[in-house]
Amino acid sequence: MPDLDGYMLGSSEAEWRRLREQHRLWRPHLLDTLSRLHLRPGDHVLDAGCGVGTMLPDLARVVGESGRVVGVELDAPSAVAARSAATEHPNVMVLEGDLREVPLGGPYDLIISRWVFSFLGEPEATLAHLTEALRPGGLLLVIDYIHDPCRAYPEHPAIQRVILAYRQLYADRGGDLFIAGRLPQHFVEAGLELAEVDPCSLAGPPGSPAWRWIERFLFQHLDTLTESGLLSAQERADFVAAWASLVATPGAVIFTPTVVSVVGRRPTPGPERPHPPEMG
Ligand SMILES: C[S@@+](CC[C@H](N)C(=O)[O-])C[C@H]1O[C@@H](n2cnc3c(N)ncnc32)[C@H](O)[C@@H]1O
């Protein structure tokens, strides 16, 4: 069963800083996607699993004063932080609750859920709940992982060991770091028209934004791995030593996991808003 007791990665200040840094890295990619999907002034948007509200100001700016942005967040302290992140935007409201169960309001022109489905386990009921909150012709954008090709070169077994342990941690708590590969089929089964599947992976040397993103994640949750019995003290020490050696290796590079944007459209019998480009 999925872990319903809270956000697996915790709601510490350190995790919040990580989420904000993560947003800065992926913001250009997000803004490109929103522009391709024709998000526009006056639109109503739901951010499902909004975390500390990293996306809310950007969404609020695009939809403008005539639009509306609603965030839903399970973790109470994160919901409070999300409200603070959006204080300058009166058109933003943050609800505390489980996006799988709470009444979501709507209908929405766009529902976006980034880095949430990988925590949720089987997505069928969640997709049905979100789809119901879309207006006919409205779009669902789920951004999540196919965890390949997360890998550091030159390869070291102690580093790969930690990456595998994280995948197992998600799986043990009912999540799936490869969920994005299965989403297109689930979208179609939920009655959505599949509009776009857009994969993106980054790479970089030590100190680059892509490197720092992966480095921060791998180090930040080592305690969770050891406490869960997924990494021994020796394996942890080997990892720390291997990482130090990697950082000092000329030509070292890291490839991030693939972040996939999956877009579905709720069918409409009438005239539609402009379509995002068809898959091809
Ligand atoms: C990795 S963070 C991503 C936050 C945000 N979407 C972003 O892009 O910065 C995942 C967030 O999803 C929230 N979450 C997980 N399961 C949830 C659920 N069932 N309902 C609402 N929020 C949930 C967690 O509490 C956490 O804040």
In Å, what is the CA distance from 192 to each residue of 114, 153, 189, 224? Answer: 18, 39, 7, 37
Could you tell which of 58, 101, 119 is best to mutate to test the pocket of ligand 1, judged by most ligand atoms within 8 Å of the CB? 119
Could you tell which of 116, 117, 130, 261 is best to mutate to test the pocket of ligand 1, judged by most ligand atoms within 8 Å of the CB? 116
Q: Which band of pLDDT confidence, cut at 50, 70 and 90, is reported for residue 270? A: low
pLDDT at 6 over 70: no
Structure confidence by residue, pLDDT tens digits, 213-239:
999 999 999 999 999 999 999 999 999
Distance CA 89, CA 166 (A): 36
Please give the pLDDT value at position 2.
36
Q: Hey, what domains does the chain have and what are their CATH numbers?
A: 13-265 (3.40.50.150)
Structure tokens at 167: 């995948």
| Side-by-side strand order, sheet with 151-153 | 151-153, 253-255, 203-204
| Nearest-5° Cα angle at 116, 111 to 122 | 95
DSSP single-letter state for residue 259: E
Structure confidence by residue, pLDDT tens digits, 94-104:
999 999 999 99
Least confident of 3-12, 40-49, 235-244: 3-12
pLDDT at 13 over 60: yes
Share of the chain above pLDDT 90, in %: 89
